Structure 1
């Protein structure tokens, strides 16, 4: 879930405020194995059926990073033509932003993994947001587009009424203070997940999924067609990734890695899903803590290795987290203010005027972008299997 779930904006919560709270208890992202059960049946040497990237459609935290249809269309073209992805995980909140992006991706021939993630709103509003997005996904599917629909991600954190607290930050404080009734929490989580799955089924007739964290989340996968996991483990041996991932095959269903990645500094992979926890948000402007060494190569090597693992297992899909994090710009001349190293993005946002919230900006590829693009291009070359059905 990184940044959380990383750095996805929830209603009324900026990334900075959310991360500052999440860091206190270390709940944003899984940092350890989810269980011990193993499974057999992983594919061997078949490659990924779908190779994608997460594209968040939040409203933006400043005037300069507000959502833009023009920018979105350019990004979708780059995802297809430069990153060589065949899948885009369209996620975030705002039905108009979600549907416009999904429609553009479908028009460009990409497989759409559509996942609404409205948070910190009443459960009925979250379910209606889910239903409205799902109806559009079904219209796309009926028009011939290739679409999978995810009912959301990590409900235990983003949906009020499961953990105590009306907002994500309040829920984090309850986790920090140990004031959580876990049997009740898990029961409520199961109840809401079942409701979300029922709503999803009622409006969408294609493949249904959910993005679960490696910890806490243990949904009833019989409700879904595809197992979705936000994956942020770190192992020194490739065989250990395979061993851990096999547990998610025990339901006999396709496995999609709905998020994976790391940040661009030395030591980031070892932090798992907590790599973003390196920013002091009590300072203005926020600063990077400690003497970290920026390294795009570290990020690229980790992402590349994980893609190789997923491909070796013949998994259904893997979505690199994430394409861009516009509200954490790269400051190459001021390492202390280089918030980009606290993101999992495979591109870096560069502002025209670094100190101006309304400044224009553009993105440039990181080494991880090229590492992903090389692997995705192998399958996108003429003669290679590129399945949109």
Structure 2
């Protein structure tokens, strides 16, 4: 099992594919779909903010966990080589979140600051949000460009909304139909409102939340609609049609995550691309005979950016910059865990299967494609 934050995003993929497919007969899918006919938000040409998700966390080992010096180098690369103007700083640990946000502010980047805790109590989650939000407000008052997201996909992360003490247990209960959808939505609405109130109490800038594609959210609580987006359609028009429904609240739309993995067929999994690793094996290995394809990953990101840009969305942040616990092992397809990673860089171990020996990342084709696109957009102003 990967670090908690990565595990969370794998669970998100289950939501998008298996959960909704399996729960449709119980009426959950209809419950989670947005409703309403508010006017569409005013559109502009191009993306206002172009970015990447940068996850902070402890990692599986000390060698793959958060290091301040590496973070500072990465933030410089995000600005100077990836040509992003935005970084989505997400994960847990107030010190890690604030240190990264401060570095991004120092480098003149727009900050999307999103604290997330997995399997923590409601009280701890809200305290974590409040402390992070107070720091975001200090940055804002000092002149930094910062949006605060109160979190993401609470029904998955926060115990008490869906039965189960852990993310894995909650997913299983959803899959097994052991959830009352009306009660679940009531609890989700209640906690989302509490989180929004906490965010407003400590932060005076733009407030947001990152929802799964199918979630029902009262967007009146927020200034920005945030969506973790992993859809796949054969036609561009289908993406536009789906995304337009998020504009009906008349508020800016931010794509808080988008991306896919680096193998042939990954985009078609619609958020389940990670589910090709046998984690019961030691060492973990890739299932089946997948064909590594960085070009596939890059092409999908460019396809979605074409859509986001044409719609003039507020922001789009590719998921993610680096996943240290998913190393690329050239010449060893069975153990090339980077194939199942959404990151635009690939970790290279100094000695395979020994992360303590050290590692570095190298750019994938997706990194170069994003860099070219972001540089062109920046030049256009």
TM-score range, shorter chain: over 0.9
Residue aligned with 2:347, SS: strand
Normalising by structure 1, what TM-score? 0.90
For residues 242 and 36 of structure 1, what CA distance do their matches in structure 2 show?
18
CA drift of 1:116 comes to 0.1
Alignment match, 1:222? 220
Alignment match, 2:61? 62
Aligned residue among 327, 341, 354 for 1:356: 354
Q: Is the 8 A contact 2:39 2:249 kept in 1?
A: no
Alignment match, 1:293? 291
- Superposed, 1:258-273 pairs within 5 Å as 258-273=256-271
Alignment match, 1:169? 168
Q: Deviations over 1:39-85 (max 9, x none)?
A: 77466671000000000001111121121000000000000000000
Alignment match, 1:274? 272
Q: Is the 8 A contact 2:44 2:313 kept in 1?
A: no
Q: Is the 8 A contact 1:119 1:159 kept in 2?
A: yes
Alignment match, 2:363? 365
Residue aligned with 2:300, SS: helix
CA drift of 1:379 comes to 2.3
For residues 251 and 258 of structure 1, what CA distance do their matches in structure 2 show?
17
Normalising by structure 2, what TM-score? 0.92
Confirm whether residue 197 of structure 1 aligns to residue 196 of structure 2. Answer: yes
Residue aligned with 1:63, SS: coil
Alignment match, 2:208? 209
Aligned residue among 4, 7, 18 for 1:9: 4
For residues 121 and 235 of structure 2, what CA distance do their matches in structure 1 show?
43
For residues 326 and 289 of structure 1, what CA distance do their matches in structure 2 show?
20
Alignment match, 2:14? 26
Structure 1 gap ranges (5+) = none
CA drift of 1:37 comes to 7.0
Q: Is the 8 A contact 1:43 1:313 kept in 2?
A: no
Alignment match, 2:148? 149
For residues 277 and 318 of structure 2, what CA distance do their matches in structure 1 show?
23
Q: Is the 8 A contact 1:117 1:153 kept in 2?
A: yes
Q: Is the 8 A contact 2:152 2:210 kept in 1?
A: yes
Moved more, 176-185 or 301-310: 176-185
Alignment match, 1:308? 306
Alignment match, 2:139? 140
Q: Is the 8 A contact 1:44 1:312 kept in 2?
A: no
Aligned residue among 335, 338, 344 for 2:336: 338
Residue aligned with 2:179, SS: coil
Q: Deviations over 1:220-276 (max 9, x none)?
A: 000000000000111111111111100000000000000000111100000011110
Residue aligned with 2:357, SS: coil
CA drift of 1:26 comes to 2.4
Structure 2 gap ranges (5+) = 22-28
For residues 124 and 65 of structure 1, what CA distance do their matches in structure 2 show?
29
Q: Deviations over 1:296-337 (max 9, x none)?
A: 000000001101110011000000010000000001111000
For residues 241 and 38 of structure 2, what CA distance do their matches in structure 1 show?
9
Q: Is the 8 A contact 2:52 2:88 kept in 1?
A: yes
For residues 199 and 94 of structure 1, what CA distance do their matches in structure 2 show?
18
Q: Is the 8 A contact 1:321 1:345 kept in 2?
A: yes
For residues 38 and 359 of structure 1, what CA distance do their matches in structure 2 show?
56
CA drift of 1:166 comes to 1.2
Residue aligned with 1:363, SS: strand
* Alignment size in residue pairs: 370
